[in-house]
Structure 1
Amino acid sequence: MAAIINDDEVTFKTSIFDQEESTSESTAFLAKKQNAINEQVKGMTNVFHDLRKDDSDTEPDWQRMLLNAKDSREKMEVRITRERWQEEQKYKLFEEAQAIREGKVNGVLSTPPNLRNKFFYDELQKNDPNTYWDNKVQRQRLNDKKSLGLGFHLRSK
């Protein structure tokens, strides 16, 4: 362990590779050489990462951000950002699924009343049970059953 004394401040360096400003030429040379090697390795890692990265991927390049982070604080910030981004994507997927489902329900509700009979609802239950069991569709089915009376059980032409 080496101590570096600067104007009322004492800094302890635990590794020989952290001592670029060392008074010893050999220690400073080794530290600079090691840092240069580390930069080359980081550059090669980025090149290999570019070769493996899929261009169709819309997700931010978290791996590159982690590789280029200078310290553990930056790495933690990248990880926190990634977690927030993933949570946001979950909500977006849920909203998209809800919009699709609402579109199907609205399609059923916009069908002309004279076509919404028992056969129509039976086919809907067979082909799209999620839409069939939606509360709005069930409410409309009961209203159609009341309004059509016995005509509800007849097949449409």
Structure 2
Amino acid sequence: KELHRWKLPFPNPNPLLWILHIALFWVPVAFILSGLVNLVTLLSGISFLALDIHMLVLGFVLTILIGFGTRVTIGHSGNMLQADKWTTLLFYWTQVVVVSRILVSLAAALGYHFIILFDISATAWLLLFIVWAVRFFDVLIRGKKLTS
């Protein structure tokens, strides 16, 4: 209710703030689905491969990590607190990583061969951190200004 009451402009031309709010949206979603997943597992024995934990950790923590890490890196390096197109793309890619991991758990629960989806999900996660590190390495290490 509180998140809805804020009436955040989404999408916003500068996503540095709303990416942190998107992370907050993952918390109730993770808790609600955690209850449902655990109930289904209890009643049927179907395994969801820790869907609830991954939604909380990837949805909330990863989104906060990328959002806060980016905001702090930009802010403390003397750059303008403005997300460029690459930063915005990283924020969207963060949500792709979360959704891809959710698909892994759902595929496993439905009895599909999920290993290829798991590999795709893990690769997307690694790619996120590699691109983030490449984008902000010079800013973090050398204090360079960002260029679009």
TM-score by length of 2: 0.29
Say which one has the larger Rg.
1
TM-score by length of 1: 0.28
Give the structure, 1 or 2, with the largest relative contact order (CA under 8 Å, sep 6 or more): 2
